[in-house]
Amino acid sequence: MKTIECLYNEIISCPSKWIYWDYNDSIADEVKEIIPDFSSMYNEGCGERLIMKLLRVGNKSGCSLVENVKHLSTERKRHIISLFFIGHLLYDRINVISDCVNAQINALGFPQKEDEPIGSQKLFSFLWILLCLYHDLGYAYEEGKLRIEDASSLEDIYSKLLNDFNPPIYNVNNVANHDKYRLCKWGVKDHGIWGGRMFFKNMLQIKTLLLQTARIDKTNVFCTKDIDHIYAFAAWIIICHNLRYDNGKEYVDCFKCQHLEDFIKSKARCINLKSNPLLFLFCLADTLEPTKILKSKKENQQSLEICKLLELNISANILSFSLDKLMDYAAGDKYKEVILSMSDWLIDVNTDTLSIAFSK
């Protein structure tokens, strides 16, 4: 059993595990200067600096969506970076997750260089960076801080997918109706849906720009005509990651009004590690990410100290928790409730004892 601080420091100290571009000491040193350890995530400006660094080095900063980073709160930027690292921890330490994720990545049909095939770990890191760094950028739209530009249509994105997206509840009609529900019930644009739509548009724009200007080697597999379906897949995870419902009567009535009966069915939103490993991992990591929940209303320093008390055991096919040190904090109760709730919508988890066991 190790504290989350210790686990994060272990993964942060090994950039070769999570840098998808060609690894070199210079890039590693620059990243370590920005975020040398877990505590540095709480430093002012650290989140934005690291996000922008990752995007620039990965040739993904030439789009309007990146401007949204400046409109996100410090807490959301911290969440993005924390999610980025905990996802790599789960992938690196839990064999059944990495096995399933790698199998899905291979099935996605990434283009490859004939003389230099790219391994599953690098392809995972490529996708994980996109998912984490973009999944909450749509908040600038949801909170009304930025006007929504022309975005790719849901139909266009879905048509680019090579395989069916699981669970099937996340189809075009349900996503479109969920967007209407959010607008009707809350008066906002859903950050996941609109962030994903803008993400897909921007990825295609970046790809076209880089190829036209020859800013990178045209044989780079991350910038070819055959990669649109990869961007579509990542976009659909971003689009769907926040779609859920509350079982209170007023919410059920509203869902029925917006033709979202599928979401009301028992276990309708169950996400399976075997059928969609990357969506499963993303939702698991997004739920476990501690900094957005283990925080107080006081100074950030106290929030940091609360997070440091969280203990996890991540090994083989087991993920277990120790929340005893959090008993004196209301934030600990809230975190426990969030963990327990996963059994309602994530298959392959058993949270009766705050332990999650994975089996092949």
- pTM metric for this prediction: 0.91
CA distance linking residue 255 with residue 209, whole number of Å: 41
Amino acid at 337: E
Mean pLDDT for 22-34 is 77
Query: Binning pLDDT at 50, 70 and 90, where does residue 218 land?
Result: very low
Is the torsion defined by CA of 256, 260, 263, 268 positive or negative?
A: positive
Nearby residues of 24 by Cβ (< 8 Å), 6 or more positions away: none
Sheet-wide strand order for 318-322: 2-3, 311-315, 318-322, 355-357
pLDDT grade, residue 101 (50/70/90)?
very high
Residue 321 β-bridge partners: 312
Averaged pLDDT for residues 146-151: 80
Q: Which of 22-26, 51-55, 179-183, 272-276 has the lowest mean pLDDT?
A: 22-26
CB 111 within 8 A of CB 221: yes
Measured CA to CA, the distance from residue 35 to residue 44 in angstroms comes to 11
Residue 170 — pLDDT band, cuts 50, 70, 90? Answer: very high
Q: What is the mean pLDDT of the chain?
A: 83
Look at residues 200, 206, 189, 208 and name the one whose alpha carbon lies nearest to residue 156: 200
Q: Which residues pair with 3 in a beta bridge?
A: 311
- Exposed, middle or buried: residue 167 (CB in 10 Å: 0-12, 13-18, 19+)? buried
Q: Which of 155-159, 201-205, 297-301, 355-359 has the lowest mean pLDDT?
A: 355-359
Q: Which CA distances in Å does 249 have to 81, 253, 264, 341?
A: 36, 6, 11, 19
pLDDT score recorded for residue 20: 65
How much of the chain exceeds pLDDT 70, in percent? 86
Would you state the pLDDT for residue 146? 79
pLDDT tens digits, residue range 317-342?
778 887 778 878 888 888 888 887 88
CA 99 to chain centre: 19
pLDDT of the residue at 217:
55
178-186 LR contacts (CB < 8 Å, sep 24+) = 178/243, 178/258, 178/260, 178/263, 180/258, 181/254, 181/255, 181/258, 181/260, 184/254, 184/257, 184/258, 185/251, 185/254
Average confidence (pLDDT) over 89-107: 91
Total number of residues shown for the chain: 360
pLDDT in tens, 280-317: 999 999 999 999 888 876 656 688 989 999 988 887 77
